[in-house]
């Protein structure tokens, strides 16, 4: 079973890296960029689990390691 986890910064948390990327896009001539926020993607392969327990496991992985709840949100998508 394959899953994709997307971790993003919470609203209101300053993202200096996103700001820098936003600036670089401007330098390249992309004028219509309102804002850029940088995040992370994890592709996880799980062995021998059903959908429900996979979801629970993946949530636990996010809570315990993949995301920092102080500054980040996450979403889990099971393929």
Partner 1 sequence: MKTAVVLLPGLNRDRDMIAALTAITGRAPRTVWQTETTIPDVDLIVIPGGFSFGDYLRCGAIAARAPAMRAVAEAAARGVPVLGVCNGFQILCEAGLLPGALMRNNTLRFVCREVKLEVVTAATRFTGNYTDGQIIRCPVAHHDGNYFADDETLARLDGENRVVFRYAEGTNPNGAIRDIAGIVNTDGNILGMMPHPENLIEPEHGGTDGRAIFESALGITSRLAA
Residues contributing to the site for partner 1 (CB under 8 A): 13-14, 16-17, 20, 64-66, 68, 70-71
Largest CA distance in the chain: 48
State the minimum distance, in angstroms, from the CB of residue 48 to partner 1.
Answer: 24
State the minimum distance, in angstroms, from the CB of residue 8 to partner 1.
Answer: 13
CB atoms within 10 A of CB 75: 11
Our CA angle for 14, 17, 23, nearest 5°, is 105
Nearest residue (CB) to partner 1, 68 versus 75: 68
Which residues, including other chains, have CB under 8 Å from residue 37's CB and lie 6 or more apart?
A: 8, 9, 15, 18
State the minimum distance, in angstroms, from the CB of residue 51 to partner 1.
Answer: 26
Nearest residue (CB) to partner 1, 20 versus 56: 20
């Amino acid at each position: 079973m394959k899953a994709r986890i997307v971790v993003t910064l919470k609203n209101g948390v300053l993202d200096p890296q996103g700001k820098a990327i936003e600036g670089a896009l401007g330098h390249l001539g992309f004028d219509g960029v309102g804002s850029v926020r940088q995040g992370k993607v994890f592709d996880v392969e799980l062995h021998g689990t059903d959908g429900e327990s996979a979801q629970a496991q993946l949530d636990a992985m996010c809570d315990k390691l993949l995301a920092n709840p102080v500054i980040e949100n996450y979403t889990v998508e099971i393929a």
